[in-house]
Amino acid sequence: YSFCTLLGGGGPMSERRVTPGDADCAHKYQTNLVVNSKYTLWSFIPLNIYEQFGRPLNLYFLLIAMLQLISIIAPVNPLSTIIPLVFAFSLTAIKEGLDDRERHREDAKFNSRKYEVIHEGVLRPIESQEIRVGDIVKVRKGDEIPCDLFLLKSSDEDGLAYIRTDNLDGEIDLKPRNCVEGLVVDNVFAFRGTIVCGHPDQKLYTFNSRLEMPDGSSHTVSSMQLLLQSCFLQNTDWVYGVAVYTGSDTKCGQNKQDPPIKWAGVDRQVSHYAIFVFIFQLTIAFSMGIAGNVVLDTKAKDAWYLHLGGTKAYEYLVIPMRFFLLTSVMIPISFKVIIDVSKYYISLVIGWDITMFDPDIDAPKGSPAKANSTALAEDLGQIKCILTDKTGTLTDNIMEFKACSLNGEICGGGHGTVFNPSISPFDMGGFDSRKDAPFMLFAKVLALCHSVALEDGELAASSPDEEALVKAAARMRVRFTARTKNVITIDNDGAEETYDILHTMEFNSDRKMMSLLLRQQMTGQIILLSKGADDKLIARMEGGGEAITLLGKHLSTFASAGLRTLVLGHRTVAEDVYEKWAARLDTAQKVTGDKRDEEVQKVYDTLEFGLKLVGATAIEDKLQDGVPETISKLREAGINFWMLTGDKFETAKQISRSCGLWTAGETLVTLTYESDTQLQTDLKKLLDKVQAGDSPGFGSTVNEQYDTLTQDSGVGSTSSRKLEVVAGGDSDEGYVLIVEGKTVEHLLEKFVKPFKTLCLSMNSVICCRVTPSQKAGLTRMAKTDLEHVEDAGCFTRPLVRGHTYTKVLSVGDGGNDVAMIQEATVGVGIVGKEGRQASRAADYSIARFRFLQPLLLVHGQYSYQRSCYIVQYCFYKSMLLAIIQIMYNNYALYSGVSYWNSLLLTTWNSLFAVPVPFYVFDKILPRGKLLANPSLYKQSQKGAALSGWTFLRFIATGALQGILCLVLTLVVFGDSISKDAQPMDFQPCFTITYTVLVMIQVWVVILDSHSMTAINLFGIFSMPPFYLAFIAAYAAIPFLEYYGVAGRVLSDPAVWLFVILLTLLFFVPIYAYRAWNENFRPNSFQATRRRKAPRDPLMVLSTPLLLNTPTQPSPHDFNNLETSPSSPLARHDSPVEDA
């Protein structure tokens, strides 16, 4: 909590009492100033420096820079380290500063908005940041709520208000709010009630408070009376509200937290390799230091200029420190800057990829892919497991009423299959003649039991399911026509029926059902209408018998067709029963604190029982285009799939079949439960069978399990089932595992290690009936290596003792998927109908599931290959210079002197690192071939491009080339005379060596590149002329020691002949060896490169376009492009992702 809140008594054990017009209340709590920025003008420099030095590598560079200031041990000018360090720090600081400037602008925009507030009986405008607790604020339609407001009065005569909460939970549908029941506020200017609420907390949908009036009366206040900051007022002209939480005390402010810090696997590897290089550096430094001290004590007795002065202990320390500074270039300062620039470019490329652009989302603007994180691009190329939501992720989240179970019959069909050919819901007028009581009751429940509102004659539903059911009722001639706070009206085949809304028992993820308590105005009869998940509703049904048995079979049939199901029930409530129940509910609602919800649910349970079966609905949510093909491709790439869904067992099973998670040749294994003991026994038995390669089938089939359900358990419930392991058949193509939610809970709490072992043996894992927290627990388990998995506790605490290594990707579209998205190595959000919360919380945002193909197979592999090479190249390039420093001291009596000029040493990893960043344009293969050959993904998946061996090879190559370059330069030119009769002494020799190294860099990048564009050709070949111009200008400064050296050396034809021959000596053998390998022992990439690239299948599913800006396609372009195979945009051997 904020400091001022603590001073004001807003601690955890106190209540907050808010009275409008109370000056003490206003000053006790903080203002409504919103601060999302990280820095201020005065804190920017010290805070940013502190953050940057919190990284171990930066501390190392700072240590080097400080040691360079000590002249006796500094072999080169301190500026050779300080300038690159300041440059790297400045770039990072500028980037952080620009990012924070945007946050400052957003804060200023929000804080300066004008709102009308009642002050001293007058409504006057003030800025948002000036609002205090207790102020009565007027908010108009379309305005953003400035702070958490208690809803006092609304322009709606029934006290209703509607808010849009997509800034909080990502859901774009309108949410109703209403004034306190029974409270009439005629004059808001004179209102003096006191809102008694708890201290600020993170619970967005909990506000268990009360309103105390001056006359002593008290009213219950809940979240239905709270307007949350960052929401927008919609469908309501104006509201008045009392500010109860302001600034960072608001629910939104309390929920603000930094996103989880994620490091790419390549970054972790490089950190480990940098430690190895550091240890090697220390070893060399102290070995050469010992040698230098021995030489100083023996051979150098007469060399007075080598003696350092001071004590022996002092001299023994100086030379090792000199060598430590000489070799500090082994860990290059520049590599982090180069990698960050490369990652930023890669993130732009992902947004520019036209095959990941969907014009239908947010039309007409369209929805491109977006990289919210620039740090994880390499991990996209190493994913081993994808955990996916179902609804809205694999499916379109466009609901269509397809069938129903009514009066013991199935009405309608699904997926082209007619369950009962004699009755169809809408086709050919199948319902037109139905006017029997069961049918009319069924349609009325659909038209009445919902939370849908009407906005300008259009349905405004909180979920696509509810909208589909209300529309289905309308087609059955029972039309929902009006709704106010207390009344709902329907048109029943031309006859208007009006009902008083006595109470709404809302749906939530724990209840999995909703109920509406109504009184029909014409008859006065009180009825309770309920709908919800089958495992919740059927347990509350009266009796059982044949109707429940038939319902179970119908639900199984619907689920087998992949349809989503809801069960409907109703009961009549006597007036005296209602009055007693309402009194108990009123008592429960007056309970303050966290106990209120529990007490209210207990009261609900006393009414939501003894229901009579009305029927069941079946809604189709179609698969997105390209889902089966995408899953097939990614499975071929070696990626396992886990589907985590809240749907029932049979629905999850059928969807897994239709989307390709379970193929015909795979054995299906299902797990249900009854007790922990039985679970542990059968889990061990199953593991033994699977690991032995035997068919694990034992137990009954799924259909038999449904036949043996008891009345009390509810259809689809797992509560009465024993653990069953059901095999679909014997096959050599592997296993698919299906687990239900309650079983998942036990497995995550008590049997994590055997469960993880079992999952590793499966091609796919399907978990149904799982909660958001279980999704996060499963993701945590999936990304944790088996040796780090504890035997228990995954569900409640982190699993890992140390680092995690398995790279997993979570993909979802709703707010309930955020936990697993943030838990995964890489989180991907689908921009869908459930809002934008998942896409905002994710590392990457895409519009369609099929876009995972180019995201992983193309951008993932490109990013991984490029980053791995750039990192290793930077270390290789630094090793060239460092090893020459070491070897030169063999000629300099191990004195710790530098071979290099300080300026050229400084520019080596900055100005003359030009070819390195241009490798970001390299493509190991054209994208068409990467998409057509997904098995190539396994190479990056197993880390073939960056390992201890490849890193060591780069380091060894740099060391060998550096040694040969120095030795040959000194052998050829060490005792020679230049053409102008000047000796080839120290400065001419290092100039020749430096020139050879520059030429080596050009040919290294060329030979290691897999493709060339005009951009990287220009960048690579521009470096030699730039280098020559630079040293010519440097050598032209008269007062420098280097004056005239470059012109004297590089004008000698013998020098250029040596440079050319030495460059050829290094690269002709390497080129010949690689050519022989590619022709006679090609690796998978080389063999694929020779084959003709097919058309990109993603282009068939995507609308081609031209980009008129780097980030935003023009809608006009969609109408003017050819989609034929000859179209340039349909050819993916061209660099379309670099458009």
Considering Cα of 988, then 993, then 995, then 996, what sign does the dihedral take? positive
Which of these, 467, 489, 468, 493, lies nearest to 480 by C-alpha position? 489
Residue 921 carries which DSSP code? G
Structure tokens at 760: 């590793």
- Report CA-CA distances (Å) from 294 to 306, 316, 320: 12, 9, 12
CB 882 within 8 A of CB 336: no
Residue 259 carries which DSSP code? P
Considering Cα of 572, then 575, then 580, then 582, what sign does the dihedral take? positive
Residue 156 carries which DSSP code? S
CB neighbours of residue 811 within 10 Å = 26
Give buried/exposed letters for 272-283 (b at 16+ CB in 10 A, else e): ebbeebbeebee
φ, ψ dihedrals at 766, nearest 5°: -120, 120
Q: Is 902 exposed, middle or buried, given 0-12, 13-18 or 19+ CB atoms closer than 10 A?
A: middle
The DSSP annotation for 623-670 comes to EPTTHHHHHHHHHHTT-EEEEE-SS-HHHHHHHHHHTTSS-TTSEEEE
Which of these, 426, 508, 478, 490, lies nearest to 454 by C-alpha position? 490
**What share of residues in the chain are helix, strand, coil (percent, to 5)?**
45, 15, 35
Q: How far apart are the first and last CA of the chain?
A: 48
Q: How many residues does the chain have?
A: 1139
How many whole angstroms separate alpha carbon 171 and alpha carbon 155? 24
Question: Which positions ≥6 away from 315 have C-beta within 8 Å?
Answer: 293, 296, 307, 308, 309
Alpha helix stretches (DSSP H) within 185-264: 251-255
How many whole angstroms separate alpha carbon 616 and alpha carbon 618? 7
How many whole angstroms separate alpha carbon 142 and alpha carbon 1088? 57
Structure tokens at 611: 């229901």
CB neighbours of residue 497 within 10 Å = 18
Say whether 734 sits in a helix, a strand or coil. coil
How many whole angstroms separate alpha carbon 135 and alpha carbon 953? 69
Residues annotated as catalytic (active site), given as ranges: 389
How many whole angstroms separate alpha carbon 379 and alpha carbon 1131? 27
The DSSP annotation for 1042-1053 comes to TTTHHHHHHT-H
CB 919 within 8 A of CB 1009: yes
Residue 849 carries which DSSP code? G
The amino acid occupying position 450 is: H
Which of these, 270, 321, 282, 326, lies nearest to 81 by C-alpha position? 326
The C-alpha torsion from 1079 through 1080 and 1085 to 1089, rounded to 10°, is 30
Q: Residues 693, 699, 700, CA angle at the centre, nearest 5°? A: 125
To which residue do tokens 């939480």 refer?
A: 245
The DSSP annotation for 414-455 comes to ETTEESSTT--SSGGGTTTT--SHHHHHHHHHHHHSS--EEE
